[in-house]
Amino acid sequence: MQEAIEVVDLEKSFSNHKVLDKISFRVPSGSIFALLGTNGSGKTTTVKMMTTLLKPDHGSVKIDGLDISQQALAVQKKFSLTGQFAAVDEVLTGRENLVLIAKLRHLKNYLSKVDELLAVFDLQEAADRPAQTYSGGMRRKLDLAMSLIDPPQILFLDEPTTGLDPQARAVLWQMIRTLKKSGVTIFLTTQYLEEAEQLADTVAILNRGKIALQGSVAEVKRHLPKETLELTFADEETLAAAEALIGGKVNKELLALNVATDNKVEKITMILNQLQAAKLEILTFTQKRASLDDVFFMIVENRTEEGK
Amino acid sequence: MTVFSDTMTLTGRMMKHMTRSVDTLMTVVLMPIMLMLAFIYIFGGAMTIPQEVYKGFIVPAILLFTVASGVGYTAFRLNGDIQNGIFERFHSMPIAKSAILNSHVVTSVVFNFISAMVVLLSSILIGFRPKADVLDWVMALLLLLAATYALSWIAVLFGLIAKNNETAIAFSYLLIGLLFISSGFVPTETLPKILRGFADYQPMTPIINTLRSILTDGVIPSDIWLAFAWCIGAIVIFQVLSIYVYRKKLR
């Protein structure tokens, strides 16, 4: 299959701090690729470099076979970018924002397309109000509509649902799926494991400037702990003793210990038995779904174990 | 050329920003008129020169004041475009990139020049009687246009480097400060020695003196080139610097 995006050994530092350290990945044409990472992991920097907004220190990005550093203008015709903060013109109305982008993309007969997008994104009523009166969700929708007025081959979405309520998020997810069906390749970044699961064909987990894990959603999920057990203790001494015994991730403020259980009864029973045998009293215990933090913790932990 | 059509498209956008902001209109047009009235009718009474003469004396400074406070908004809007990400959106699109800064400059020149004309008209309404003939008018307006163009590029540079909106707009106070320590409101001979030395050699003074000579007295001074030289020098330097900063910022 033709690669829509090909990133090889991408590197970027800001004043001696290495934000991205040789990351590489490929995005097949017509698929959805999710770059998953916490705040500050380098997701936005990656997107900026892929969309010609930032020059890489090292490495290359090819969009639909074209090198972005050599053919920036030709590449820019192939994609649209919806950044992390809805970049709409607040003074202009929704309709004017769409017309502005249509004109800048030198489209002809765009008025019917503008109306169509306003309808698709359910913005007809608000179309002639200034965008500064829009809610966060409406801004995101307008931003996305602006990216679609000249249908792109490739769509970059930098944290498209951050700050949206669950309902607006579901609407946006549905739109992203519809876009995929129409053949658009989508590159998105997210902080939410669930979002990647819901949408992506391929997932890459970015941690401290490196890709920690990459593969299909099913492949990546196999590596992840499904559930953790959160145990809290009465004091720091008990907490430290428990950690020495069964491992896991310590949260000193909450006097809590998070242990991966893979949702297996035997594992939970074993942990509880071990603690009881050592006479370490548990204050509370709760089962938690693995968060992205837990995933990273597990990845980092595995690394150091492999290194030993 | 896409540069031209993209510049026009983006200028259309900026014009909507300017005309939809009541605040901008108030500051840019009403403030200079209020200042002019205050100087002529409030402070003017305490001065030894007749009101009619003083009107002719301060109108050029008031015109530059209009432009100087107006370009503050140019810096403000440009900085806003950077802060809220719309610059990045444009920059990631297949458009002529120079159109982005151009649109701010064109809007700034057109809008501030028109504002200055409104203020000039109101000065005529309160009794300012220029002695300029047609050629004088052409020269005076050309000089004002050149000064507006120069101040607009200065605004672009400050808009690009300012950390936030408030800092961006604050630079126009520097320009206004320059105007007050010039020949604009009082003859430089009446200033304290240190200020006078500064006032005589800073760019606002030759521009104001030239405008005054042409408009008020109907005489094109022999050193008119000095006023134009300052404007052209500033245009070249600040345009080059702005484009340099812009490229650095967005690549």
Per-residue pLDDT of chain B (251 residues; tens, 9 = 90+): 688 999 999 999 999 998 888 777 777 889 999 999 999 888 887 888 888 888 889 999 999 999 999 999 999 999 999 988 898 899 999 999 899 999 999 999 999 999 999 999 999 999 899 999 999 999 999 999 999 999 999 999 999 999 988 888 888 899 999 999 999 888 888 889 889 989 989 999 999 999 999 998 899 999 899 999 999 999 999 999 999 999 887 65
Residues 6+ apart with CB under 8 A from A184: A30, A151, A152, A153, A154, A155
Nearest neighbour of B9 by CB, restricted to A86, A89, A104: A104
Task: Say how far apart CA A149 and CA A142 lie, in whole Å.
Answer: 10
Q: What are phi and psi of A247, to 5 degrees?
A: 75, -165
In angstroms, what separates the C-alpha of B172 from chain A's closest C-alpha?
A: 23
Q: How far is A210 from A64, CA to CA, in rounded Å?
A: 24
pLDDT > 70 in chain B, percent: 99
Best mutation site among A46, A89, A108, A155 for testing chain B: the one with the most B CBs within 10 Å? A89
Subunit contact B93:A101, Cβ cutoff 8 A: yes
Structure tokens at A95: 């309709």
Rounded to 5°, the CA angle B89-A292-A252 comes to 125
CB within 8 Å: B95 and A104: yes
Assessment of whether the complete model's pTM goes beyond 0.90: no
Residue A279 is predicted with a pLDDT of: 87
Strand pairing partners for A155?
A: A80, A186
Convert the pLDDT of each residue in B119-167 to its tens digit: 999 999 998 999 999 999 999 999 999 999 999 999 999 999 999 888 8
**Distance between A78 CA and the closest CA of chain B, angstroms:** 9
**Any CB–CB contact under 8 A between A106 and chain B?**
yes
Find out whether A197 and A174 touch, Cβ atoms under 8 Å. Answer: no
Q: Residue type at A151?
A: P
A73 touches chain B (CB under 8 A): yes
Residue A307 pLDDT exceeds 50? no
pLDDT the model gives residue A280: 85
CA distances from A250 to A42, A233, A265 (A): 25, 11, 22
On chain B, the residues whose CB falls within 8 A of the CB of A53 are: 88, 91-92, 250-251
Say what percent of chain A tops pLDDT 90: 44
Task: Count how many pairs of residues, chain A against chain B, have C-beta atoms within 8 Å.
Answer: 61
Cβ-Cβ contacts under 8 Å for A288 (sequence gap 6 or more)? A227, A228, A229, A230, A258
User: Are B147 and B61 spatial neighbours (Cβ–Cβ below 8 Å)?
Assistant: no
pLDDT value, residue A308: 38
Q: Which residue in A46, A42, A66 sits closest to A56, CA to CA?
A: A46
Q: How far is CA B244 from the centre of its chain?
A: 22
Torsion angles phi and psi, residue B96, rounded to 5: -70, 115
pLDDT above 70: residue A257: yes
ipTM over 0.90: no
Dihedrals φ, ψ of B43, to 5°?
A: -70, -30
Find the helix packing angle between B204-217 and B193-201, rounded to 10°: 70
Side by side, which strands form the sheet with A202-207?
A79-82, A154-158, A185-190, A32-36, A202-207, A210-216
Residues 6 or more apart in contact with residue B122 via CB below 8 angstroms: B33, B36
